[in-house]
Amino acid sequence: MSNPTPIEPGHAAAVEQDAVESIVPLMPLVLPLVGGVLMLLLASIAIYMA
């Protein structure tokens, strides 16, 4: 009784897979936006340091 088994063995894995699959379609929008923000931050730091 020390290790309770889940009712459905693949339940946790199925929930995590659904979460990942819900994020994947947003990647073509999120990655360029984050990259642009990162480049602007790095450029502003380089200008400030110069």
Which tokens in the block code for residue 32? 């360029």
- Please determine, for residue 45, whether its predicted confidence score (pLDDT) is greater than 60: yes
> 22-34, pLDDT tens digit by residue?
888 999 999 999 9
Its sign, for the CA torsion 37, 42, 48, 50, is negative
Per DSSP, 26 falls in state G
> 5-27, pLDDT tens digit by residue?
656 666 665 556 677 888 889 99
Q: Which residues 6+ apart lie within 8 Å of 12 measured at CB?
A: 6
The residue whose two tokens read 């290790």 is 3
